[in-house]
Amino acid sequence: MSTYNREDTKLLFAELQRTGDQTYREELARLHLPLVEYLAKRFKDRGEPLDDLVQVGSVGLLKAIDRFDLDRGVEFSTYATPTIVGELKRYFRDKGWAVRVPRRLQELSLRLNKIIAQLTQDLGRSPTVSEIAKMAEVTEEEVLEALESGQAYSTTSLDAPSGDDDDAPLRVDRIGQEDFRLENLEYFASLAPLIEQLPERERTILYLRFFKGMTQSKIAEHVGISQMHVSRLLTRILEFLREGMEGDAEY
Amino acid sequence: MVKVPPTAGHLALLRTAVGGFAARDHFTLDQVDDLRMAVEESAVQLLRHATGDFITLEVKATEPGVEVRVHAEVAGSEPVIDESSFSWTILRALADDLRIEMQQGHATIVLTKHRINVTSGPHR
């Protein structure tokens, strides 16, 4: 794990602001990943895989990096914390966590998460409700109930390729090499400025789903997050683009 | 058939309805999600042109899968979605087949999704 160093952070920001070189942005993200992990752990009792929470928090981190201004004279970690926590809170809010899910359903959901991941791997595609029910030895209605409680669409996060070594790069970095071409989308002239506002991972997901025709499960595997998370991000991206076409929107 | 007022707040109902149907009808979770997104996108587009009191959703089980019809009363007879739009691209990616029926103040977006053959076992 990189040792956190305030001077390094300042230098990196100075270089990033001077050159605009994205390598510095990535380095800053890597340097502050432990902060994201620390904050994500505070939400870990709510039934979501920690990996997903770290991914969500990383989005907040990248936003904070992009908005941080050295001249403000505050420490970056102080500045970034509310943004990261805000992103995590928003994630739970979007999921409708205000609704209490009965414990029985929560437990079933967690079990289904694993079964769905297993089936996705075995079948090479996303499973159907009846396949899940069969393997879980519960009724289809019980599966539907658990799915509708909004927790169990998750497929690959538990078995996602390891990225948890302390010195492994952010998964967000890995998809940076994806052959994503903004030109493919520039045809939709009014959308281009909106798409530019999306974080790289979101752009990649958008591209893979709608221009490459990749399924959510495949994208999940590719990007290293759960299918449920891909689904949620896609919904949010489309919402953002729709709002953006109408007027003002902020991703 | 589900009928809701043409306001953004009611579209979630259509999304949920089609998702519930598809999940019970042996579609994979990916496909269930595709259908939900496709219905939402269709309804959003109809919403922009809707002049009547309702947006309706009709779901029909067919031999290869499911046919979903999202309908609204609209002004004029210009197609509600331009084929060069992003919206069309999205719908094309989500549905196996897509068409828009326009006739005298009525617009219907017809989406079909084919069930994949789930009888095949693990292929590894």
Instruction: Give tens-digit pLDDT for A64-111.
Output: 998 888 887 788 888 898 889 888 888 877 665 444 566 777 788 888
- Planar angle of CA A233, A88, A101, nearest 5 degrees: 85
Q: What's the mean pLDDT when you consider all of chain A? A: 76
At B119 the pLDDT is: 59
Q: Position of tokens 């002239």?
A: A189
Query: Which residue has better confidence, B54 or A244?
Result: B54
Number of residues assigned to chain B: 124
Rounded distance between C-alpha atoms, residue A63 and residue A29, angstroms? 10
What mean pLDDT do residues A44-51 have?
79
Disruptive mutation site among B33, B36, B92, B124 for chain A (greatest number of A CBs within 10 Å): B33
What was the ipTM of the complex prediction? Answer: 0.75
Q: Answer yes or no: do A128 and B27 touch at CB < 8 A.
A: yes
3-state SS track over A71-127: HHCCCHHHHHHHHHHHHHHHHHHHCCCCCCCCHHHHHHHHHHHHHHHHHHHHHCCCC
Residue from the list B20, B33, B44 with its beta carbon closest to the beta carbon of A231: B33
**Which residue is closest to B12 within chain A, CA to CA?**
A235
Q: How confident is the model at residue A187 (pLDDT cuts 50, 70, 90)?
A: low
**Which residue is closest to A214 within chain B, CA to CA?**
B93
Rounded distance between C-alpha atoms, residue B8 and residue A131, angstroms? 34
Query: Which residue has better confidence, A160 or A231?
Result: A231
What mean pLDDT do residues A38-49 have?
81
Closest-CA distance of chain A to residue B16, Å: 9
Rounded distance between C-alpha atoms, residue B14 and residue B36, angstroms? 8
Chain B, residues 16-55, CB within 8 A of chain A, namely: 20, 23-24, 26-31, 33-34, 37, 40-41, 44
Rounded distance between C-alpha atoms, residue B6 and residue B10, angstroms? 7
Contact of B109 with chain A, judged by CB distance below 8 Å, is answered with no
At A100 the pLDDT is: 54
* pLDDT over 60 at A198, yes or no: yes
Residue from the list A128, A211, A235 with its beta carbon closest to the beta carbon of B37: A235
Contact of A148 with chain B, judged by CB distance below 8 Å, is answered with yes
Low-confidence ranges of chain B (pLDDT < 50): 120-124
Query: Which residue has better confidence, A156 or A207?
Result: A207
- Planar angle of CA B109, B113, B119, nearest 5 degrees: 165
pTM of the model: 0.61
CA torsion through residues A164, A168, A169, A175, sign:
negative
Please count the residue pairs, one from chain A and one from chain B, whose beta carbons lie less than 8 angstroms apart.
70
pLDDT in tens, A100-132: 566 777 788 888 888 988 898 899 889 999 999
At B53 the pLDDT is: 93
Closest-CA distance of chain A to residue B114, Å: 13
At A101 the pLDDT is: 61
Contact of A33 with chain B, judged by CB distance below 8 Å, is answered with no
